[in-house]
A and B are shown apart, each in its own frame.
Chain A
């Protein structure tokens, strides 16, 4: 299905939830209102013409400085129809939280854990929202833009890493 047709079909079904559509380099991006996300996701997967059965990727983007939001970005693919879609859900940066899609695509589990770890975005309804890449005693969310490149761990922890954790 062409990008324009995809956008039209989804927008007709969710006139209020889809707040923006954009095509760049032949890639369709739809911006969705975060509270309706789970509903939209289920529709995208279950509608026969769309059939987005494969969640390629899920990640966060920090836009707190300019727009006061974190964007949660979903890259969807349909194995049977061979088309792709990027779904974006902006969440307020002071209370970053949105519904999980683990009930729709199981693979979202680790991706959401990673996004939680890196950005501090919580996914409510997630079965097991733990950090995944950083150590348990690591403080902060390293992919946020206000997190410095050389880290800001408590001196003791940093020292213990340097010495090899005595």
Chain B
């Protein structure tokens, strides 16, 4: 036996993911631990890489829309909208007013659905299971509306270049109205489960802090940036799709911790609900798809009766749009932050280059900054508070 017991400390490296429920998909974190304290965290991404940007170069401009559904697959309308706005900017066209308001309405419902999924899983990660079931009830109601509108629950491909694919179906207004009326009370109910809950606060207050300067430096956007008190919302700063006609406030945090980001998303759901309500009242009459030769498909009735319309339809489907040479960047305030598309056109029917700027990719980059020096369980809370979706990180 040795006389003096010599204690040696040794760092332990553990793998969290890629198959781990609280990494929200196939994220792998390589954690170096000193006891329970994180010394170093290195995220590994790319497990879901499908080469979306490469695929887009081999498709016509319209064929890229389904690819965008599969980026942030819990917010398909936002992805469709960002892409459509980019192509519209390149072409120098605008969707009819009615279509723009339909887009706002659906995108705000999407924000609610996306935030509900975030709240459900974030709470589940930290151990509050009840919230999960409640949130999925409401999310289901929204997905029913999506199914009614687009025929699909998740991969909607409803927003098209120049407008939306078809008119809103009968029963839509009533269904949305019912949801809008019920939702605020439901949301308050969730808040009673969490907002002042001491366990919830112990797990979230002062955890995963990032200062405003760091948040900007790391390129954070969306609720993750506003949690640090930076007032930047693209809907207000560079209004698109008639957002300047809507009244809503942008909630801001103070401390940049998990709890602030939680409060912000809850308040954003209230605000989105307000916007949906306003949109229902504003919704003007008119076309839901612009009639622009060589860009948008002619109405189906015309295709069946009119020779020119049929030829146009055939040409657009087989050959596609030919935008002018040039390059544009357009971005929107997606549920997770700034979702941007950079499109380079060489005048042919395929994009020469399509770069996607996914908010989750950039937000995840700041994770090590938020968790290093903190305890292991804080990692789970912090990942949840960033609201990442690997579909758009890996593309």
Interface residues of A (CB under 8 A from B): 24-25, 27, 29, 53-57, 59, 61-62, 73, 75, 79, 82, 84, 86, 105-107, 109-111, 118, 131-135, 142-143, 147, 149
Across the two chains, which residue of chain A brings its CB closest to B325? A24
Residue pairs across A and B with CB atoms within 8 Å: the count is: 84
Q: Which residues of B contact A118 (CB under 8 A)?
A: 53
Q: Which of B54, B55, B58, B331 has the most CB of A within 10 A?
A: B54
Question: Which residue in chain A gives the minimum CB-CB distance to B363?
Answer: A107
Task: List B contacts of A147 (CB < 8 A).
Answer: 54
Q: B72 interface residue, CB < 8 Å from A? A: no
Whether B230 is near chain A, meaning CB under 8 Å from some CB there, is yes
Q: How far is the CA of A84 from the CA of B232 in the complex (A)?
A: 14
B216 is an interface residue with CB less than 8 A from chain A: yes
The answer to the question of B391 belonging to the interface, with a C-beta cut-off of 8 Å to chain A, is no
Contact B329 A86 (CB under 8 A): yes
Residue B353, interface by CB 8 Å: yes
Cα A147 to Cα B53 with chains together (Å)? 13
Answer yes or no: B108 CB below 8 A from chain A CBs: no
Q: Cα distance A89–B328 when bound, in Å?
A: 17
Residues of A near B355 (CB, < 8 A) are 57, 59, 73
Closest to B89 in A: A25
A-B complex: 10 closest residue pairs judged by Cβ atoms: A107-B219, A133-B46, A57-B357, A59-B355, A106-B217, A133-B49, A110-B365, A24-B326, A61-B353, A107-B218
Do A79 and B232 have beta carbons less than 8 Å apart?
yes
Q: How far is the CA of A56 from the CA of B333 in the complex (A)?
A: 13
A79, A107, A135: the one contacting B46 at CB < 8 Å is A135
* B326:A59 contact, CB within 8 angstroms: no
User: Which residues of chain A have C-beta atoms less than 8 A from B340's C-beta?
Assistant: 56-57, 75
Pick the contact of B353 from A57, A62, A132 — CB < 8 Å? A62
Structural contact, B238 and A82, CB atoms closer than 8 A: yes
- Proximity bits, B215-236, A CB within 8 Å = 1, else 0: 0111100000000001010000
Closest B residue to A82 using CB positions: B237
A149 to chain B, nearest CB (A): 6
Give the CA-CA distance A131 to B45 in the complex, in Å.
10
Q: Is the CB of A24 within 8 A of B328?
A: yes
A135 to B51, CA, bound (A): 13
Chain B residues whose C-beta falls within 8 Å of the C-beta of A142 in the assembled complex: 51, 54
What band does the interface of chain B fall in when counting residues whose beta carbon is under 8 Å from A? Answer: 35 or more
Q: Does B92 contact A (CB under 8 A)?
A: yes
> A73–B342 contact, CB under 8 A?
yes
Of A53, A55, A75, A131, the contact of B342 (CB 8 Å cutoff): A75
Q: Contact at B362–A107, with CB atoms within 8 Å? A: yes
**CB-based contact B365/A25 at 8 Å:** no
* Contact of B326 with A134 in the complex, beta carbons under 8 Å: no
Query: How many angstroms from the CA of A56 to the CA of B51 in the assembled complex?
Result: 21
In contact, B217 and A105 (Cβ under 8 angstroms): yes
Q: Check A56–B357 contact: CB distance below 8 A.
A: yes
Q: Which residue of A lies closest to B357 (CB)?
A: A57
Closest Cβ of chain B to A74, distance in Å, is 11
What's the Cα separation between A59 and B341 when bound, in Å? 11
Q: Which residues from chain B contact A59 at a C-beta distance below 8 Å? A: 342, 355
Contacts A54-B219, A133-B394 given: A149-B365 contact, CB under 8 Å? no
Q: Which residue of A lies closest to B91 (CB)?
A: A25
Chain A residue nearest to B353 (CB atoms) is: A61
With both beta carbons as reference points, the residue of chain A lying nearest to B234 in the complex is identified as: A77
Cα A161 to Cα B53 with chains together (Å): 21
- In this complex, what residue of A is CB-closest to B329? A75
A27/B328 in contact, CB under 8 A: yes
A134 to B45 Cα, complex, angstroms = 9
Interface centre among B331, B344, B353, B394 (most CB of A within 10 A): B353
Q: Establish whether residues B344 and A56, one from each chain, have CB atoms under 8 Å apart when the complex forms.
A: no
Q: Does B387 contact A (CB under 8 A)?
A: no
The reply on B361 being an interface residue by CB < 8 A is yes
Within the assembled complex, what's the spacing in Å between the Cα atoms of A53 and B217?
A: 7
Complex interface residues of chain B between 310 and 341 (CB less than 8 A to chain A): 326-329, 331, 338, 340
